[in-house]
A = this chain, B = another copy of it.
Amino acid sequence: MTNPLASATVEIEMPFHDIDVMGIAWHGHYAKYLEIARCAMLDTIGYNVPQMRASGYAWPVIEMNIRYAAPLHFQQKIQVQAVLVEVENRMKINYRIFDLETGKRLTKAHTIQVAVSMESGEMQFASPRALLDKLSA
């Protein structure tokens, strides 16, 4: 099993503006839910967007995969869990979305990010020390 390097869980309530004409959260909005959990996780290691920029690196998402098992409805409360599972050459984060009330798992997802030097614009093939130092701290 993958040993989590860092993790965080956030609670979100489905707002009206995320609900589509079929009465469910439009699938594209899930990228926001993942990001809120990801930022909370990055805060636990002190390497969220401001610290990334201060370290000289942007970390663009190069892959996002979402598997939707069950829809979300207006005012439904969910838990979104973000787990950091890879850091050596890239940052891979796994996500699970659960119904807050029943605990049922509704969605699985992952994102992959790589470090890009803000000075040279070059993609880094190994994660910079700035991230690794945060994790060993």
Chain A positions near chain B (C-beta within 8 angstroms): 15-17, 19-24, 26-29, 31-32, 35-36, 39, 48-50, 58, 60-69, 71, 74-75
CB neighbours of A39 from chain B (8 A): 15-16, 75
CB neighbours of A62 from chain B (8 A): 67-69
Closest to A50 in B: B74
Closest to A48 in B: B75
Contact partner of A20 (CB less than 8 A), chosen from B16, B29, B64, B66, is: B16
Closest to A13 in B: B36
CB neighbours of A64 from chain B (8 A): 27-28, 64-66, 68
Q: In the bound complex, how far is the Cα of B28 from the Cα of A64, in angstroms?
A: 9
Contact partner of A31 (CB less than 8 A), chosen from B19, B27, B35, B74, is: B27
Contact in complex: A36, B24 (CB < 8 Å): no
Q: In the bound complex, how far is the Cα of B74 from the Cα of A2, in angstroms?
A: 31
Q: In the bound complex, how far is the Cα of B35 from the Cα of A60, in angstroms?
A: 22
Contact in complex: A16, B31 (CB < 8 Å): no
Closest to A108 in B: B63
Q: In the bound complex, how far is the Cα of B29 from the Cα of A61, in angstroms?
A: 12
Closest to A49 in B: B16
Q: In the bound complex, how far is the Cα of B67 from the Cα of A39, in angstroms?
A: 21
